[in-house]
A and B are shown apart, each in its own frame.
Chain A
Amino acid sequence: MINVEQLAKLVGDLEEEQAVQMAEAFVVQNPSKEEVEAVVAACQGGMETVGVRFGTGEYFIGDLIYSGELLARIMSILKPLMVANNTSKTGTIVLGTVKGDLHDIGKNIFRGMAEAAGFVVHDIGFDQPASAFVEKVREVKPDIVGMSALLTLALDGVRDTVKALKDAGVRDSVKLIAGGNPITPEFCKQTGIDAYGGNAANGIKTCLAWVKK
Chain B
Amino acid sequence: MSEYQKALYTRTLFDDAIGMKKEPDRVPVMSNAFTWPIVISKYKLSEVLRDYDKLFEIWYGFARDYYHDSLFDFGWRNPMRIRDVLGISGDYVFNDEEGTINHIEKHCLEVDEYDEFIADPRRFMMEKFFPRRMTNLAGSRLNAKNTFVAGMNEFAALGQYIGKLAGAVAELGVLLAGGGYLTYFDIWIHNFRGLKGTLTDLRRIPDKVQAAWEKYAPMYEFAAYDLPFRYSPPPPIPPSIDIALPLIGSGLLSRVQFGRFVWPQIKQVADKATVDGKTIMIFAEGNVEHLYEYFLQLPKGVACIQFEKDDIRKAKAILGKHCCIIGGISLELLNSGTKEQCIEETKRLVDDLAPGGGYIFSEAAMMAFKTDGRPENVRAVTEYVRMNGKY
Q: List chain A positions with a Cβ less than 8 A from chain B.
A: 14, 16-17, 57-63, 65-66, 68-69, 100, 102, 105, 151-153
B254 touches which one: A59, A69, A102 (CB < 8 A)? A59
Contact call A102/B252, Cβ cutoff below 8 A: no
Contact call B98/A66, Cβ cutoff below 8 A: no
Interface centre among B93, B95, B254, B290 (most CB of A within 10 A): B254
B residues in contact with A65, CB < 8 Å: 195-196, 199, 252
Contact call B371/A57, Cβ cutoff below 8 A: no
B residues in contact with A62, CB < 8 Å: 199, 202, 249, 252-254, 257
Describe B's contact surface by its main secondary structure.
helix
Interface centre among B98, B253, B290 (most CB of A within 10 A): B98
Answer whether A60 and B290 are a contact pair too, CB < 8 Å, given A14-B203, A16-B203, A66-B200: yes
B residues in contact with A153, CB < 8 Å: 98, 100, 369, 371
B199 touches which one: A57, A66, A102 (CB < 8 A)? A66
A60 touches which one: B93, B254, B369, B371 (CB < 8 A)? B254
Interface residue? B314 (CB, 8 A): no
Q: Which 10 A-B pairs have the closest CB atoms?
A: A62-B252, A61-B252, A102-B102, A60-B254, A62-B253, A62-B199, A69-B200, A66-B199, A65-B199, A66-B203
Contact call B100/A151, Cβ cutoff below 8 A: yes
B residues in contact with A63, CB < 8 Å: 254
**Closest-CB distance, A108 to chain B (whole angstroms):** 9
Q: How far is the CA of A69 from the CA of B204 in the complex (A)?
A: 11
Within 8 A of A (CB), among B52-99: 93, 95, 98
A residues in contact with B254, CB < 8 Å: 58-60, 62-63
Interface centre among A58, A60, A62, A68 (most CB of B within 10 A): A62
Describe A's contact surface by its main secondary structure.
helix
A residues in contact with B98, CB < 8 Å: 100, 153
Interface residue? B219 (CB, 8 A): no
Q: How far is the CA of A65 from the CA of B193 in the complex (A)?
A: 14
Answer whether A105 and B195 are a contact pair too, CB < 8 Å, given A62-B252, A151-B100: yes
**Closest-CB distance, A183 to chain B (whole angstroms):** 15
Q: A69-B199, A105-B196 are in contact. List 13 more A-B contacts (CB 8 A).
A: A14-B203, A16-B203, A61-B286, A62-B199, A62-B202, A62-B254, A65-B196, A66-B200, A66-B203, A100-B95, A100-B98, A102-B102, A151-B100
Contact call B204/A60, Cβ cutoff below 8 A: no
Q: How far is the CA of A16 from the CA of B195 in the complex (A)?
A: 18
A73's nearest neighbour on chain B, judged by CB, is B200
**Closest-CB distance, A126 to chain B (whole angstroms):** 9
A residues in contact with B93, CB < 8 Å: 102
B residues in contact with A66, CB < 8 Å: 199-200, 203
Q: How far is the CA of A61 from the CA of B252 in the complex (A)?
A: 5
A residues in contact with B195, CB < 8 Å: 65, 105
A residues in contact with B119, CB < 8 Å: none
Interface residue? B387 (CB, 8 A): no
Answer whether A60 and B252 are a contact pair too, CB < 8 Å, given A102-B102, A153-B100, A153-B369: yes
